[in-house]
Amino acid sequence: MQHWSSIWANAVSIAENRPERYAKNITIRYPIHVPFDGSAIRLTFDNYCGTEPVTINKTTLLVREPLSVTCGDSSPGETLSVTCGDSSPKGGAFWPVTFGGERSVTIGAGESAASDPVEVHIRAGETVYVSFYLADFTLMRSVVFTCGPLSGGLYANGDETETVDIDVNTSRATKLNYFLSDVSILTAHQNRTIVCYGDSITAQDWPDDLQIRCREEGFNRTAIVRKAASGTRILREYSCLTYESYGLMGSHRFLHELPVSGADAVIIQQGINDIIHPVGEEVNIFRPMSDLPTVEELIDGLKTYIAQARQMGLKVYVGTLIPMGGWRTDAPFRQEMRHAYNDFIRTTDLIDGCIDFDRALRDPARPDWFLPEYDSGDHLHPSKKGYQRMAAEVPQELLR
């Protein structure tokens, strides 16, 4: 028996508003790392945050054989069959992607489109390159930033959807993911997906590190996908042009992002932006202190996530909020909120498990601060080692 299971996914958020927010005559390419075998591929493109239709004129798949390379901070001599964000295929064959039998698809504002299944046998360890071409002026509004050892892509001038090695002189690497929101494969029923949901901390490395850990430790039937958008809060979103790129609030995100093919569990790690964003209108007119929730309101928001995930049949794990000592809006009352929120996560019986990222990353001598080696330097986001430590904290029982 087979079913569809997502092997790559992203949230859809709002691009920073700039005069150059329209693009024309460009190809976008993303590498998709395959965790388990499959017999077909299906793509979903999402214009959820768009305010006008977008047309994708041509889409192709290119499958590359496994490549053994050293990735991240692996031990000397240790290799993994991944390409660490490399967007240059250097070999393989192209498959056309259609939508209702047509090569081109127009996606209305706020709408999405799933491709026809592409029947192609892929193996664990291979990389599938998704390339799509935008011929006419396109509003590049539905987008999300991600980074990590398995993330990245490129954009190029012209139609390069059937070019194996795109010229470095006419292309550029990107960490922005436009429109493509899901890649699912038809695979054995025992293969499954875990969704990592959150804000900028989850938009960065630890979900990629967790997928690498699954490969290293032999959890070969588990795919890790990311549904995260930087700046997002559970209870609020910005209506102003200046900060609209900080994304949608939970009531506009969770039910849209969480239905993921083959998913049986979600890891939620969100809430810090609700605590740190409000600074008062005298400091920033767009960030009034009235935006600051009570701890009870923040917990109620999390309870809404939990209830909605349960309705989808998902197991629910929640990560505690990590240290923020030294962050530019750090204050005792914010730390008190963080501690109270974390205490709820550690003690509630509403979830299947607490993943105590806070305890894993904090400095025992100064518990509100990162252990120095886990601090990226801004005192809010972990370092590369910090993200690897987060991935290591996820219990094996969830990965099996």
Residue 247 burial (10 A CB sphere; 0-12, 13-18, 19+): buried
Residue pLDDT, tens place only, 46-63: 999 999 999 999 999 998
pLDDT greater than 80 at residue 372: yes
How many CA within 13 A on the CB side of residue 45? 31
Query: How many beta carbons lie within 10 A of that of residue 157, not counting itself?
Result: 15
pLDDT greater than 60 at residue 88: no
Q: State percent of the chain over pLDDT 70.
A: 93
Helix (H) or strand (E) holding 296: helix 295-311
Per-residue pLDDT, 79: 27
The answer to whether 6 and 264 are in contact (CB under 8 A) is no
Backbone phi, psi, residue 313, to 5°: 80, 25
Query: How many beta carbons lie within 10 A of that of residue 290, not counting itself?
Result: 10
Phi-psi region of 372 (alpha: psi -120 to 50; beta: other; left: phi over 0): alpha
CATH number among 3.60.21.10, 3.100.10.10, 3.20.20.70, 3.40.50.1110, domain 191-399: 3.40.50.1110
Enumerate residues 6+ apart whose C-beta is below 8 A from 342: 320, 321, 358
Per-residue pLDDT, 64: 76
Closest CA to 206 of 185, 224, 218: 224
Rounded average pLDDT over 138-159: 97
Residue 90 pLDDT grade (very low, low, confident, very high; cuts 50, 70, 90): very low
Enumerate residues 6+ apart whose C-beta is below 8 A from 282: none
Tell me whether strands 192-198 and 263-269 are parallel, antiparallel or unpaired: parallel
Per-residue pLDDT, 17: 86
> What is the C-alpha to C-alpha distance for residues 42 and 19, in angstroms, rounded to an integer?
33
* Distance of alpha carbon 330 from the chain centroid: 26
> What is the C-alpha to C-alpha distance for residues 253 and 232, in angstroms, rounded to an integer?
9
Residue 77 pLDDT grade (very low, low, confident, very high; cuts 50, 70, 90): very low
Looking at every residue in the chain, the average pLDDT score rounds to: 93
State both tokens at 273: 């932006």
pLDDT greater than 60 at residue 82: no
pLDDT greater than 90 at residue 163: yes
Which amino acid does the sequence have at 127?
T
Residue pLDDT, tens place only, 287-334: 999 999 999 999 999 999 999 999 999 999 999 999 999 999 999 999
State both tokens at 196: 């990592």
Per-residue pLDDT, 30: 98
The answer to whether 230 and 203 are in contact (CB under 8 A) is yes
Residue pLDDT, tens place only, 206-245: 999 999 999 999 999 999 999 999 999 999 999 999 999 9
State both tokens at 178: 């436009």
Return the minimum-mean-pLDDT range out of 25-34, 71-80, 169-178, 254-263.
71-80
Residue pLDDT, tens place only, 107-123: 999 999 999 999 999 99
Residue pLDDT, tens place only, 237-253: 999 999 999 999 999 99
Residue 92 pLDDT grade (very low, low, confident, very high; cuts 50, 70, 90): low
Per-residue pLDDT, 91: 53
Residue 93 pLDDT grade (very low, low, confident, very high; cuts 50, 70, 90): confident
Backbone phi, psi, residue 97, to 5°: -110, 130
Rounded average pLDDT over 36-54: 98
> What is the C-alpha to C-alpha distance for residues 275 and 207, in angstroms, rounded to an integer?
23
> What is the C-alpha to C-alpha distance for residues 107 and 330, in angstroms, rounded to an integer?
42
Rounded average pLDDT over 141-152: 96
Under DSSP, is residue 224 helix (H, G, I), strand (E, B) or coil?
strand
> What is the C-alpha to C-alpha distance for residues 348 and 345, in angstroms, rounded to an integer?
6
